[in-house]
Amino acid sequence: MDSKFAFAFLLFYFLMSSHSVISQTSGKVNIGESLVTMDQNLSWLSPSKDFAFGFRQLNDNDDFFLLAIWYYKIPDGDIVCYAKGGNPAQRGSKVELTADRGLVLKDPQGTEIWQSNFGTGRVAYGVMNDTGNFVLVNINSESPALWESFSHPTDTLLPTQAMKIEGILSSRKSVTNFSQGRFQFRLLSDGNAVLNPINLPSNYTYDA
Ligand SMILES: *[C@@H]1O[C@H](CO)[C@@H](O)[C@H](O)[C@H]1NC(C)=O
Ligand SMILES: *[C@@H]1O[C@H](CO)[C@@H](O)[C@H](O)[C@H]1NC(C)=O
Ligand SMILES: *[C@@H]1O[C@H](CO)[C@@H](O)[C@H](O)[C@H]1NC(C)=O
Ligand SMILES: *[C@@H]1O[C@H](CO)[C@@H](O)[C@H](O)[C@H]1NC(C)=O
């Protein structure tokens, strides 16, 4: 092969492949992009690949997937946030990023089973941030995020994630069952942070 041609080809190849690496890992999710659960843990990654947002299979070979955020680089990395009160979705479920309603989760029959509620506004795009926060960016850039996973903590707070007054972290049933468990960590409006058990299913809170 002519060496100039080979050099140009290699340069071209290098530019193309580095470009595709960058676009795959920008953390940005465009309107209309979707993930459908199949046999894999499909996800959108943060730029550093530390965090993934998507479907995580609960047990090997089973048909249930949690819409969640987890540590991606660590094998079996901990799930740090999950949607739908920890209720898993069936194989064939789909999550899509829409402009008017944000993230919309549908079951295999196409019935909507969860969405990221944010009132009014339009989403420009989504970002899986390196901090572990999945952010829906407002099309009106003067305003803050329309919705972010950091405002909906489940059982974990990540570094830089603030706990808001009247915020609740809730334990789960077990390692593989993400339904609400019997223990809570709450930041009360009087400024006290408390750990308390609750009664299920009434949610009555016992003394701290
Ligand atoms: C999905 O991830 C879980 C937890 O890391 C793992 O047990 C399971 O084997 C993975 N499933 C597939 C199909 O890769
Ligand atoms: C992502 O997190 C960084 C801090 O690590 C922050 O500066 C940036 O604004 C965040 N991006 C979005 C879209 O929230
Ligand atoms: C989790 O536990 C709850 C309450 O015990 C039960 O109703 C539910 O079916 C369990 N979910 C899974 C996926 O096993
Ligand atoms: C208890 O709290 C959970 C989680 O916030 C909620 O889904 C459920 O409806 C509550 N149950 C009752 C009886 O209020």
Question: pLDDT per residue over 24-83, tens digit each?
Answer: 568 999 999 999 987 677 899 999 999 999 999 888 768 889 999 999 999 889 999 999
Residue 140 has pLDDT above 50, yes or no: yes
Domain boundary among the residues 127, 149, 171 is at 149
- State if residue 90 touches ligand 3 by the CB under 6 angstroms criterion: no
Distances (CA, A) of 80 to 18, 32, 42: 30, 25, 16
Residue 191: what are its φ and ψ, rounded to 5°? 95, -10
CA 123, 101, 82, 109 torsion-angle sign: negative
Answer yes or no: do 189 and 134 share one domain. no
Ligand lying nearest the CA atom of residue 174: 3
Pocket-forming residues, ligand 1, beta carbon under 6 Å: 39-41, 56-57, 60, 76
At residue 24's C-alpha, the angle toward residues 31 and 10, to 5°, is 135
Q: Is there a single domain that holds both residue 186 and residue 119?
A: no
Question: How remote is the CA of residue 59 from the centroid of ligand 3, in Å?
Answer: 13
- pLDDT-derived band of residue 22, with 50, 70 and 90 as boundaries? very low
Which of 167, 172, 174 lies closest to 194 in space, CA to CA?
167
Percent of all residues in the chain with a pLDDT value above 90, rounded to a whole number:
73
pLDDT at 13: 45
| Nearest-atom index, ligand 3, CA of 88 | 13
pLDDT at 176 (0 to 100): 86
Q: Which of 84, 173, 178 to mutate to test the pocket of ligand 3 (most atoms within 8 A of CB)?
A: 173
As a whole number, mean pLDDT of residues 10-20 equals: 42
Is there a domain that residue 124 lies in?
yes
- Report the separation in Å between the CA atom of 175 and the middle of ligand 3, taken as the mean of its atom positions: 12
Whose C-alpha lies nearest to ligand 2, atom 8? 129
- Token pair 């850039």: residue: 141
Q: Considering the chain, what percentage of its residues have pLDDT values greater than 70?
A: 85
Q: Is residue 8 domain-resident?
A: no
Domain match, 107 and 67 both: yes
* pLDDT tens digits, 94-135: 999 999 999 999 999 999 999 998 988 999 999 999 999 999
Same domain membership, residue 122 and residue 75: yes
Question: Does 136 reside within a domain?
Answer: yes
Mean pLDDT computed over every residue of the chain = 87
CATH code, 105: 2.90.10.10
Q: Which residue has the tokens 């009434």?
A: 202
Q: Which residues span the domain enclosing 201?
A: 163-208
